[in-house]
């Protein structure tokens, strides 16, 4: 069974959420009514999407919209899509179900089967109307790696889908996992939408939940005999059960995100975080700061990488789950929180004013003829815009480049690949990814934008984590750059985020990465070629990097 695609996997808790490509039965196309080859009609695609997302259908279904020319066999599927966020194309009364479907029509349907479309979203594609519902569908799908644009400025929305492309797209969007607990859809969700309940009753087959009958019996006894029935909360019980199951892995990077937490996680796609503005991880049961974000309340309050948060407003958070601890730190914009910090064994209190923090990704400045390229995280902007920026840098004929990855907590593996593609020959190995299914090598996909004779220095510190370490380690192994600063954070595992139909998510560690020369990073970090400690009075690390490059004065 194919378990993960390294180019779509996440390598940091600040990474961009992506629906994982999961394995499907070989007969999925036939079961969903898709043709074996050739183009796919809108009706065939609609039916397959509804089945893949397990939306309820009944033979007695009726349509509330005034649709014409809907074959009776497709009425249940049209009705199910209409009920789910009104996920029907806006083509007057005629849905044109016999017409071949293109990429844009497919995305408009698939995205609205998961959430309503919204206007006001910007997109970089010439063939997609900016700020439109279509733009929202395209940017959502591209951000989740369901589909890729034809070219950087052209999405290719009018291109017809063939059977293989349609099947792959539906697999990406549905996140339908064959070994997950069975999901049943019941009425009664908010705003009349179906709510998802997870059925924990195992079948006794391989892959089912251990002791599922005991679990089911305990739940039935609680529902039937517990003295205080008003305290029984089905959703809370389900979420706590899954949280504890994942927590039993004793992995600080794996977690279950209930819908509210998953939504907060998803806002990071656009580089926006709320609270104190710090990237945090659970390390040995302690909420630990990976890095304060630039310009954030955490940075202004003097918090540093590896600071441990032990109390919030005077109350210990020991024993809380990662999400519970994070929830204590977060709060409304403008409110304050008092954090008890453990730094190198000494404890002290810090008062932080909470705020909403917009995280920029790329900043380019010049010192003489040396370009200083600072990357704050490896998100969507880095993945889509950095190569164009570096091409512009090259036209100005720099005598050297400083890549500043200090306090960069990481992000998308593919964004790291994009960064490296600016400096390494096409096809250069960027990382070795090891999973339960074996090893694979990630390699650059494009020709470099920066001439090979231009020297490069990479700035790193203890806040450089995950994708930052992939970039730094690869450039170091290939002899393309020297590392200046202090030892990096040491996060070398790969996470994927599986988004479920009820909008909850599972973030699960599925692989570990190593540098091109097979150096282990997780728990160890990278050692710089030139060690320079940071000082508040002067940026000694940057000054040392400039000394190594010609033209900096």
Strands 362-367 and 429-435: unpaired
Task: Tell me the pLDDT tens digit for each residue of 153-168.
Answer: 889 998 898 888 888 8
Q: How far apart are the C-alpha atoms of 63 and 86, rounded to whole Å?
A: 11
The pLDDT of 394-405, averaged and rounded, is: 97
**Structural domains in the chain, sorted by start:** 27-174 (no CATH), 194-258 (no CATH), 272-358 (2.30.42.10), 362-547 (3.90.226.10)
The pLDDT of 352-370, averaged and rounded, is: 87
The pLDDT assigned to 186 comes to 28
Task: Tell me the pLDDT tens digit for each residue of 110-131.
Answer: 998 888 888 888 888 888 988 8
Which are the catalytic amino acids? 466, 477, 491
Sign of CA dihedral 542, 521, 296, 359: positive
Confidence label for 91 from pLDDT (cuts 50, 70 and 90): low
Give the N- to C-terminal CA distance of the chain in Å, as an integer: 56
Contacts of 60 (CB under 8 A, 6+ apart): none
Confidence label for 546 from pLDDT (cuts 50, 70 and 90): very high
Q: Is the pLDDT at 543 greater than 90, yes or no?
A: yes
Confidence label for 326 from pLDDT (cuts 50, 70 and 90): confident
Nearest in space to 416 (alpha carbons), one of 124, 8, 17, 19 = 8
Instruction: State how far the alpha carbon of 502 is from the alpha carbons of 156, 186, 294, 397, in Å.
Output: 30, 11, 33, 51
Q: How far apart are the C-alpha atoms of 196 and 198, rounded to whole Å?
A: 7
111 contacts 501 by C-beta, under 8 angstroms: no
Residue 134 half-sphere exposure, CB side, CA atoms within 13 Å?
Answer: 18
Q: Is the pLDDT at 39 greater than 80, yes or no?
A: yes
297 contacts 352 by C-beta, under 8 angstroms: yes
The pLDDT assigned to 46 comes to 92
Contacts of 198 (CB under 8 A, 6+ apart): 181, 182, 183, 184, 238, 242
φ, ψ of residue 551 to 5 degrees: the values are 80, 15
Per-residue b/e over 23-35, b at no fewer than 16 CB within 10 Å? ebeeebbeebbbe
Q: How far apart are the C-alpha atoms of 164 and 525, rounded to whole Å?
A: 41
pTM for this predicted structure: 0.56
pLDDT, mean over the chain = 81
297 contacts 355 by C-beta, under 8 angstroms: yes
423 contacts 393 by C-beta, under 8 angstroms: no
């Amino acid at each position: 069974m194919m378990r993960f695609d390294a180019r779509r996997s996440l390598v940091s808790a600040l990474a961009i959420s992506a629906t994982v490509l999961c394995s499907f039965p070989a007969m999925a196309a036939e079961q969903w009514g898709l043709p074996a080859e050739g183009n796919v009609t809108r009706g065939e695609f609609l039916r397959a999407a509804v089945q893949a997302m397990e939306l309820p259908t009944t033979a007695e279904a009726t349509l509330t919209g005034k649709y014409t020319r809907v074959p009776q066999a497709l009425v249940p599927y049209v009705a199910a899509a209409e009920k789910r966020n009104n996920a029907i194309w806006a083509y007057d009364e005629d849905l044109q179900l016999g017409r071949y479907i293109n990429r844009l029509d497919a995305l408009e349907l698939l995205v609205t089967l998961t959430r309503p479309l919204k206007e006001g979203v910007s997109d970089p594609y010439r063939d997609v109307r900016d700020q439109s519902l279509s733009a929202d569908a395209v940017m959502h799908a591209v951000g989740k790696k369901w589909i890729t644009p034809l070219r950087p400025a052209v999405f290719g929305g009018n291109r017809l889908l063939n059977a293989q492309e349609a099947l792959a797209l539906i697999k990406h969007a549905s996140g339908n996992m064959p070994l997950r607990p069975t999901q049943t859809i019941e009425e009664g969700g908010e705003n009349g939408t179906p709510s998802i309940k997870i059925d924990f009753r195992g079948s006794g087959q391989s892959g089912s939940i251990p002791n599922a009958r005991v679990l089911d019996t305990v739940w039935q006894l609680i529902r039937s005999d517990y003295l205080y029935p008003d305290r029984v909360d089905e959703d809370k019980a389900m979420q706590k059960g899954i949280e504890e199951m994942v927590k039993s892995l004793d992995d600080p990077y794996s977690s279950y995100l209930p819908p509210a937490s998953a939504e907060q996680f998803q806002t990071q796609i656009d580089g926006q975080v709320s609270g104190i503005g710090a990237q945090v991880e659970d390390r040995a049961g302690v909420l630990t700061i990976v890095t304060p974000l630039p310009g954030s309340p955490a940075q202004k309050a003097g918090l540093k990488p590896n600071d441990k948060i032990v109390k919030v407003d005077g109350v210990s958070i020991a024993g809380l789950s990662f999400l519970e601890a994070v929830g204590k730190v977060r709060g409304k914009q403008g409110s304050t929180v008092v954090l008890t910090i453990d730094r190198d064994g000494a404890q002290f209190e810090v008062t932080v004013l909470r705020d909403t923090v917009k995280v920029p990704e790329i900043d380019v400045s010049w010192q003489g003829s040396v370009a200083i390229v600072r990357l704050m995280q490896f998100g969507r902007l880095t993945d889509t815009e950095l190569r164009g920026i570096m091409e512009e840098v090259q036209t100005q004929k720099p005598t050297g480049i400083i890549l500043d990855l200090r306090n960069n907590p990481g992000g998308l593996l593919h964004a790291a690949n994009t960064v490296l593609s600016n400096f390494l020959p096409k096809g250069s190995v960027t990382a070795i990814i090891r999973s339960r299914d074996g090893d694979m090598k990630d390699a650059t996909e494009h020709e470099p934008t920066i001439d090979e004779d231009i020297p490069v220095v990479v700035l790193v510190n203890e806040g450089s984590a995950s994708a930052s370490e992939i970039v730094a380690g690869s450039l170091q192994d290939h002899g393309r750059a020297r590392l200046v600063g202090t030892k990096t954070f040491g996060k070398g595992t790969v996470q994927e985020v599986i988004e479920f139909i009820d909008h909850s998510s599972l973030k699960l560690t599925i692989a570990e990465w190593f540098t091109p020369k097979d150096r282990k990073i997780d728990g160890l970090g990278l050692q710089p070629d030139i060690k320079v400690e940071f000082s508040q009075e002067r940026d000694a690390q940057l000054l040392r990097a400039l000394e190594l490059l010609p033209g900096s004065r």
